[in-house]
Each structure stands twice: as C-alpha cells, then as structure tokens.
Amino acid sequence: MNKIAIIPGDGIGKEVMDAALHVLDSIGLKFDYKFGEAGDEYFEKYGIALPKETIDLVKSSDACLFGAAGETAADVIVRLRQVMNLFANLRPVKSYPNTNSLFDNLDFMIVRENTEGIYVGQEEFIEDGAVAKRIISRKASERIINYAFNYAMENNRFKVTCVHKANVLKKTDGLFKETFYNIAEKYPKIDKEDFYVDATAMYLLTRPESFDVIVTTNLFGDILSDEGAGLVGGLGLIPSANIGEDAGLFEPVHGSAPDIAGKGIANPIAMILSAGMMLDYLGLNTEAHKIDLAIQEVLKEGKVLTRDLGGNSSTMDLANEVIDKYNEI
C-alpha cells in the first residue's frame, strides 16, 4: 500500500483536501495516509512554516498531496520543491465544458523548470537598490528539457516549444535555447520550435491551440501557466504536479482563499485533478483517466456546481457528484 503524505495547509486547503480524499476513498483506492502540518497557521503557533517533521514525512512517502498555503507559500511549497529536488513542475492547460474557458479545444502541458532561475532567492541590497541573481545551469536545463521531450513521447504529443528570452538574456537563456536544440536532435519524431517569452504570451491569447508541450525556465513558466489558467476558466480548475527523480508532490495552483475558508463552498476540482495526477504518477492510469472523465461529465451536465462555476452546491456536493459520475463510467 502506497504511503501518501497529506499536507492540507491553510484556508480552503483543508476543505478541498477532504473532498479529494473522499473521492479517492469512495472509488475504492486505499492508501496509507500520513498527515503533516505546514503553512500560516502553523507559523503563527510555532514560528516556523515548515517543520522538519513534515519534511521527513514527505521524504519517507511515495507521494505527497498538498492543499494550499497562504502568506508562507514561499517558505513551504518552494522549500519542499528544493529539499525534494522536484525539478519538473507540470501545469496542464485543458478546456473543460460549461466553464468560463475562452477556448473549447485546448489541451497542452507547460513543463516548468522548478529549482533554479531567479527563484533561487539570492538577493541583496546595494547602495541604490537591490540585485537578484538568476541561475541557469546546463545540468538543470538538460534535465528539464529531456523530461519535456520524454513526456511528449510517452503521452502522444507531437511538438515541444522552448520558451526563453535569449535575445536579451544572452548567456542564461542562450544556454537554455542551445541546450534545447542539442537535446531535440535525440527526438526526431517530435517537432520542435522556440519563441521569446513575450511572443509566447501573445500567442497564448491569439493561437493557443497551436501548443502541445511548452518547456521553459522557472519564472517564465510560473507566469505563463497562470495565463494558461485564465484561458480555461481560472485557477479553480488547474492542477499541478512537482516531479523529481524519486518523489512527487501534487497540488492545486489556487491559493488559500481566506475570504471563503470554512464556508464549505470552495471548488474542489483542481485538488481532485491534482490527486488524479498523483494516480498517474503511481501508475494508476485508468483510475486517473476515469476521474478526469467524471469531472467532464459533472461540468457538462451542470447540475452540481460550486459558486465560482455558477452554481450553489457545496464542496462536498461536487465531490459526491464526481464519485457518482465515476461509478457510471
């Protein structure tokens, strides 16, 4: 039985986590859940956002489900990514029916380098301002680009797009672009292309259906993936995965939403889809696919929806509807 670390975190993280675990239990998937604490509330009590006990729990588990963090997000989720060497951040952008999606035919993956770039946090004040260091290594570039091409091969994707700003960041992004084309030679069946990040931001609005797999650096991937979420109805529908050599952490990309926390009205879909990505990671591909199909049916039917989706149903009402649709498939 797989050991799964559960970190509900703050705000609606607890509620959507309960909903996701209810779905997994109700469809017959049994895991050994071990709960850990982290986030704003823990910081207020103990003066630290991510205790060593939680880090050790994640390290000893087969996978981790994470709910949401508030103001301490950088000290919790970014720290976990670094400690666990979760180098690949996967952010799917997919159109679902009966949502605020601007397009009805999108299905692409953003593969974001997760360990370096400007998010290494090496900043310092200088006499008249501040300086931040941006680190792009050949090793990390090769690792994330190989991951993107392998993902494309394993998931019947036809093209990988490299996103950079090599015309200005000539050394760091120049290295990333050069590495991309060197590695691309090993994958002759996969189409390859590259765009500047500003052009990509425009193309995501004007022709997003042309993308299949995007691979990019840490900050660019962070920004573009939120733009992608806006294309398909918002952060409440977007899951994510953080993958390392021998570890995986799965989380929705929405925040802790303190304004609605405790009201039982949060949309659990992103959390349930994140659990589905965990199932894929653990090799339970059929179950993961059925969860995705069940969510599509719930949204298409439109009878049980949370307020952000135009309905009046509760978090658990929506989770139970997903279970019902899953059992009908």
- Tell whether 215 and 269 lie within a shared domain: no
- The domain that holds 152 is classified in CATH as 3.40.718.10
- pLDDT tens column, 211-268: 999 999 999 999 999 999 999 988 889 999 999 999 999 999 999 999 999 999 999 9
Pairing status of strand 63-68 against strand 248-252: parallel
Average pLDDT of the chain, as a whole number:
96
- Tell whether 196 and 109 lie within a shared domain: yes
Other C-beta atoms lying within 10 Å of the C-beta of residue 13: 27
**120 DSSP 8-state letter:** G
- Percentage of the chain modeled with pLDDT above 90: 95
Report the C-alpha gap between 102 and 95 in whole angstroms: 8
- Tell whether 218 and 131 lie within a shared domain: yes
**b or e along 232-265 (b: 16 or more beta carbons within 10 Å of the residue's beta carbon)?**
bbbbbbbbbbbbbeebbbbbbbbbbbeebbeebb
**Total domains, the chain:** 2
- pLDDT tens column, 263-289: 999 999 999 999 999 999 999 999 999
Residue in the block written with tokens 């570039």: 141
- Tell whether 72 and 129 lie within a shared domain: no
Q: What are phi and psi of 88, to 5 degrees?
A: -115, 120
Q: Is residue 221 assigned to a domain?
A: yes
Q: Is residue 246 assigned to a domain?
A: yes
Q: What are phi and psi of 209, to 5 degrees?
A: -65, -10
Helix (H) or strand (E) run with residue 193 in it: strand 191-196
- Tell whether 254 and 278 lie within a shared domain: yes
Helix (H) or strand (E) run with residue 22 in it: helix 12-26
Judge whether residue 121 has pLDDT over 90.
no
Pairing status of strand 159-164 against strand 213-216: parallel
Report the C-alpha gap between 3 and 247 in whole angstroms: 12
Tokens describing residue 113: 């380098």
pLDDT grade for 65, boundaries at 50, 70 and 90: very high
* 58 in Cβ contact with 36 (< 8 Å): yes
* 37 in Cβ contact with 9 (< 8 Å): no
- Tell whether 50 and 135 lie within a shared domain: no
Concatenating the DSSP letter of every residue in 229-247 gives: HHHBT-GGG-EEEEE-SS-
Q: Is residue 217 assigned to a domain?
A: yes
Q: What are phi and psi of 94, to 5 degrees?
A: -140, 135
Q: Could you tell me the strand order of the sheet in which 248-252 lies?
A: 32-35, 3-9, 63-68, 248-252, 239-243, 88-94, 107-113, 213-216, 159-164, 191-196
- Tell whether 206 and 177 lie within a shared domain: yes
Q: With H, G, I as helix, E, B as strand and everything else as coil, classify residue 200.
A: helix
- Tell whether 17 and 109 lie within a shared domain: no
Report the C-alpha gap between 70 and 11 in whole angstroms: 8
Q: Is residue 113 assigned to a domain?
A: yes
- Tell whether 106 and 185 lie within a shared domain: yes
Residue that terminates a domain, selected from 181, 198, 231: 231
- Tell whether 269 and 299 lie within a shared domain: yes
Q: Is residue 170 assigned to a domain?
A: yes
Q: With H, G, I as helix, E, B as strand and everything else as coil, classify residue 69.
A: coil
Report the C-alpha gap between 329 and 123 in whole angstroms: 52
- Tell whether 293 and 324 lie within a shared domain: yes
Residue in the block written with tokens 């050991």: 3
- pLDDT tens column, 13-34: 999 999 999 999 999 999 999 9
Q: Is residue 97 assigned to a domain?
A: no
* 291 in Cβ contact with 24 (< 8 Å): no
* Active-site amino acid positions: 119, 165, 198, 222, 226
Report the C-alpha gap between 108 and 309 in whole angstroms: 22
Residue that terminates a domain, selected from 208, 231, 254: 231
Write down the pLDDT at residue 173: 98
Q: Which residue range forms the structural domain that includes residue 125? A: 102-231
Report the C-alpha gap between 151 and 61 in whole angstroms: 24
Q: Is residue 112 assigned to a domain?
A: yes
- Percentage of the chain modeled with pLDDT above 70: 100
Pairing status of strand 213-216 against strand 239-243: unpaired
Judge whether residue 194 has pLDDT over 90.
yes
- Tell whether 54 and 113 lie within a shared domain: no
Q: Is residue 72 assigned to a domain?
A: yes
Residue that terminates a domain, selected from 216, 231, 246: 231
Torsion angle of the four alpha carbons 141, 145, 147, 151, in this order, in degrees rounded to the nearest 10: 160
